[in-house]
């Protein structure tokens, strides 16, 4: 039995292909962590814009529980990158443009 396909999310962040890394270390010599577009969007909506997970879910077209799981993953990745001197590479996910 295959898992249920992921529901498309509405995302406004469009920085795909960009990376943030510690200075002084070439990209070729640093470990990279992929931060998906929906993870960046959830971080922005909840942590920067101050929306609740319920409000962020409504904005993204997904449930509060899904926002909670996305946020947990995004925060873990950002913490790992910052504490471990790793690069954060922004990658695409199943998002459609904000309407």
Q: Whose CA is closest to 6, among 77, 52, 51, 73?
A: 73
> What is the number of structural domains in the chain?
1
pLDDT digits (tens, 9 = 90+) for 2-41: 666 666 666 666 666 788 999 999 999 999 999 998 999 9
Please report the pLDDT score of residue 18 as a whole number. 84
List alpha helices for 25-83, DSSP H. Answer: 37-43, 53-60, 64-83
- Is 3 inside a domain boundary? no
Is the full-model pTM beyond 0.75?
A: yes
82 contact partners, CB below 8 Å, separation of at least 6 = none
pLDDT digits (tens, 9 = 90+) for 52-77: 999 999 999 999 999 999 999 999 99
- Is 79 inside a domain boundary? yes
Residue range of the domain that includes 15: 9-94
pLDDT digits (tens, 9 = 90+) for 72-86: 999 999 999 999 999
- What is the enclosing helix (H) or strand (E) of 96? strand 95-97
26 contact partners, CB below 8 Å, separation of at least 6 = none
Please report the pLDDT score of residue 8 as a whole number. 64
CATH code for position 63:
1.10.10
Residue 62's CB is within 10 A of a number of other CB atoms, namely 20
Is the pLDDT score of 98 beyond 60? Answer: no
- Is 99 inside a domain boundary? no
Please report the pLDDT score of residue 91 as a whole number. 84
């Amino acid at each position: 039995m295959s898992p249920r396909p992921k529901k498309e999310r509405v995302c406004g962040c469009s920085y795909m292909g960009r990376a943030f890394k510690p200075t002084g270390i070439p990209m070729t010599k640093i470990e990279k962590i992929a931060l998906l577009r929906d993870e960046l969007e959830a971080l922005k909506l909840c942590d920067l814009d101050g929306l609740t997970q319920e409000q962020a879910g409504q904005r993204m077209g997904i449930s509060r529980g899904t926002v909670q799981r996305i946020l947990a993953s995004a925060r873990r990745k950002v913490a790992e990158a910052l504490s471990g001197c790793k690069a954060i590479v922004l990658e695409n996910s199943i998002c459609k443009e904000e309407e």
